[in-house]
Amino acid sequence: MTIQEAAERSGLSAHTLRYYERIGLIHSVRRDGSGHRDYVERDLEWLDFLTKLRTTGMPIAEMCRYAELRRMGDHTAAERRAMLEAHRDRVRCRIAELQQDLKVLDYKIDIYRGME
Amino acid sequence: MTIQEAAERSGLSAHTLRYYERIGLIHSVRRDGSGHRDYVERDLEWLDFLTKLRTTGMPIAEMCRYAELRRMGDHTAAERRAMLEAHRDRVRCRIAELQQDLKVLDYKIDIYRGME
DNA sequence: ACTTGACTTGGAGTGCGCTCGAAGGGGGAC
DNA sequence: GTCCCCCTTCGAGCGCACTCCAAGTCAAGT
């Protein structure tokens, strides 16, 4: 699969895919005869997971660490799990915070309604 | 109240408070005899609300627009309400998205647990 | 043979939201 | 008086996560 196809399917830009590879987020994408990247299904799955980490607010540096552990093999599973658990806690906190802020928005909107 | 006190109470830095004033997010903070800023309770309330808009992901430019409408008076209430409603929708979507992503994290963590 | 277009690399540029530095101005404590 | 500290403005700098550009390669189409 070409970089354009991978971009469309992952929702990332081709620029971003190259950038992710450069910083080590996605490792050693296969090249075809002419040196062009050739993405496989497994790359797409990994990109989807990376995207979930990103959209939930994990910093790139932390994602790089996770990717590095993943490359190191199964013996890093516990550390990776710990990272995900810590991240999950952050996401839960974030959701709780957003839900609180939502109440304030609701309250404000009601006030505006009352004014009209 | 001095800028330092306002910073402590709002959770923003003094730098950020000056920055917010410069870009028009907070308008015409009173000055004392020697030109120092003198924040009042109402400023703090406004800063708290601004902070909620920020932490829920409203871009600064949009917050400036909201602040501008607020300065223009009561006849902008409908437009401000519309902005808040649009923002509320975005926040709701964001929460829903985070909740979906949380499921993926849970799933992954379970897999790691199974591996150990 | 030549054009077209998508790809490659390395490095520079961008936008956002701050964050900091420089240079200078009070005003209270000693 | 002078030391010290916090304040002022203006403008530059920073960190993050991309985003884009320049220069070159390669393969397919006409």
Query: Which nucleotides of strand C lie within 7 A of protein CB?
Result: 6-10, 16-20, 26-27
Per-residue model confidence (pLDDT) at position A97: 97
Interval B57-97: pLDDT, tens: 999 999 999 999 999 999 999 999 999 999 999 999 999 99
* Angstrom distance (rounded) from CA A28 to CA A105: 46
What is the structure's pLDDT at B28? 80
Domains and CATH numbers, chain B: 3-115 (1.10.1660.10)
Answer yes or no: do A109 and B97 touch at CB < 8 A: no
Closest nucleotide relative to residue A33's CA, C1' based? D26
- 3-class SS of residue B34: coil
Spatial distance between the Cα atoms of A52 and A11, rounded to a whole number of angstroms: 12
Tell me what pLDDT residue B20 has. Answer: 97
Tokens, residue B74: 């009561």
Reported confidence tier of residue A33, pLDDT bands at 50, 70, 90: confident
**B105 — contact with chain A (CB < 8 Å)?**
yes
**For the ranges A28-37, A60-69, A77-86, which has the lowest average pLDDT?**
A28-37
Lookup result for tokens 């540096």: A61
Is A47 or A35 the better-scoring residue by pLDDT?
A47
**Which residue in the set B105, B112, B113 is minimally distant from A91, CB to CB?**
B105
* B77, B81, B105: residue with CB nearest A88: B105
Tell me the CA end-to-end span of chain A in Å, nearest whole number: 56
Q: Can you give the pLDDT at residue A14?
A: 96
Across the range B31-53, mean pLDDT stands at 94
Per-residue confidence (pLDDT) for residue B109, from 0 to 100: 97
B28 touches chain A (CB under 8 A): no
Residue of B nearest to A70 (CA): B112
- pLDDT-derived band at B115 (thresholds 50, 70, 90) equals confident
Contact A6, A39 (CB under 8 A): yes
* The pLDDT value given to residue A34: 87
| pLDDT score of A99 more than 90 | yes
Whether the per-residue pLDDT at B19 is higher than 80: the answer is yes
pLDDT of residue A28: 81
Mean pLDDT score, B37-62: 97
Distance, CA of B17 to CA of B64 (rounded, Å): 14
Question: Measured between CB atoms, does A94 come within 8 Å of chain B?
Answer: yes
Of B23, B73, B11, B99, residue with least CA distance to B47: B11
**Both tokens of residue B85?**
């409603």
**How much is the pLDDT for B35?**
86
Q: Is residue B116 very low, low, confident or very high in pLDDT (cuts 50, 70, 90)? A: confident
